[in-house]
Amino acid sequence: MNGLKNYDDFNHIGTGAFGTVFKARDKKNEGRFVALKKVRMAITDDGVPLSVLREIALLKQLEAFSHKNIVQLYDICHGRRGNNDLVIFLVLEHVDQDLATFLEKCPPPGLESSLIKSLSHQMLTGIEFLHANRIVHRDLKPQNILVTDRYVVKLADFGLARIYEYQMALTPVVVTLWYRPPEVLLQSVYASPVDLWSCGCIIAELFTRKPLFPGSSEGSQLGKILEIIGTPSRESWPQDVCMAWEHFSNFGKGEDLANLIPEAEPAAINLIRALVEFDYRKRLTAEAALRHPFFDGFEPEKD
């Protein structure tokens, strides 16, 4: 683990759940800009927090692949060490804006269809890569999808991701409110399909520039979802939850997504509907989503 002597011109650019982020220059690599994620950890009798060790191990694992739709880890540096805490810096690829900022800056009438397809395809390509490597992002949202000035998408912030075995279910609630799937809200077991629900929400948002399911609280979020997608079948209701299907059986057929997202073509509506499927077992995989007719004729840019 290296020190910070190779970096200068520090500028604070943000603070997240897992640390503070600075923009800096890498003196050893032609002065390129990097993002330095500062993580201060309390050292207990058990050592370094597992959440940090998990992120570091995950980023180091991904570093070897250098996938263009995944933010790169360049280095890990040590900072100050006290009696009860330790500071480390993750040196990451720097991108100036996230998708949330990109959409906020977008003037009416919104993004062109070809750009929506490109951004969606790249996001799904990144998710397909993660899932192929047994990694679930688990916190996908516009704030941690980065967009370069050449419209290249890079998935970031794997602080909540976890390497999973193919049949292993994941339990803690970790996904940001508006992008949480029903199985998370119901505190059921879940795995990789959680990311595809988030993708469906984000693709819809690319068209409308507003969230598809803007619940005001955790308690209201499931109701907001069912108002739109309709009452799920009794068979699709998770068996391992304390809330009975009968409490949610009066939402009817829901709303027509084509009316909610009038900017979207029929193929896009079909794709979004297949991703925001209540039953995670029927939700499209990333691989299947990339083969959807919405992307017919679309040619990804070559590396």
CATH of the domain at 23: 3.30.200.20
Torsion angle of alpha carbons 220, 223, 229, 235, nearest 10°?
130
Whether residue 149 is found in the same domain as residue 236 = yes
Q: Which of 72, 93, 114 is the last residue in one of the domains?
A: 93
Distances (CA, A) of 301 to 40, 115, 172, 181, 298: 39, 12, 37, 31, 10
Q: Which residue has the tokens 């994941």?
A: 170
Whether residue 139 is found in the same domain as residue 192 = yes
In a domain, 303, yes or no: no
The answer to whether the beta carbons of residues 95 and 147 sit under 8 Å apart is yes
In a domain, 56, yes or no: yes
Q: What is the pTM of this model?
A: 0.86
Q: Is the four-CA dihedral 165, 167, 124, 298 of positive or negative sign?
A: positive
Q: What is the mean pLDDT of each run of 10 residues along the chain (303 residues)?
A: 82 75 92 88 68 70 84 83 76 93 94 98 96 87 95 82 38 66 89 96 98 88 95 90 84 94 98 98 98 95 75
Q: Count of alpha carbons within 13 Å of 218, Cβ hemisphere only?
A: 9
- Tell me how many degrees the CA angle 67-68-70 measures, rounded to the nearest 5: 70
282 is in an annotated binding site: no
Q: Which amino acid is at 173?
A: V
Torsional class of 134: left (φ above 0), alpha (ψ -120 to 50), beta (otherwise): left
pLDDT score for 2: 67
Q: Is the four-CA dihedral 50, 145, 69, 204 of positive or negative sign?
A: positive
Q: Which residues pair with 146 in a beta bridge?
A: 98, 154
The DSSP code for 254 is -
Of residues 285, 159, 181, the one with CA closest to residue 232: 181
Whether residue 85 is found in the same domain as residue 208 = no
What's the domain count of the chain? 2
pLDDT score for 216: 84
What domain range includes position 212? 97-295
Whether residue 155 is found in the same domain as residue 268 = yes
Q: What is the CATH number of the domain that holds 267?
A: 1.10.510.10
Q: Which residues pair with 154 in a beta bridge?
A: 146
Residues belonging to the active site: 139
Token digits of residue 107 = 């003037």
d(CA 75, CA 36): 9
Whether residue 89 is found in the same domain as residue 103 = no
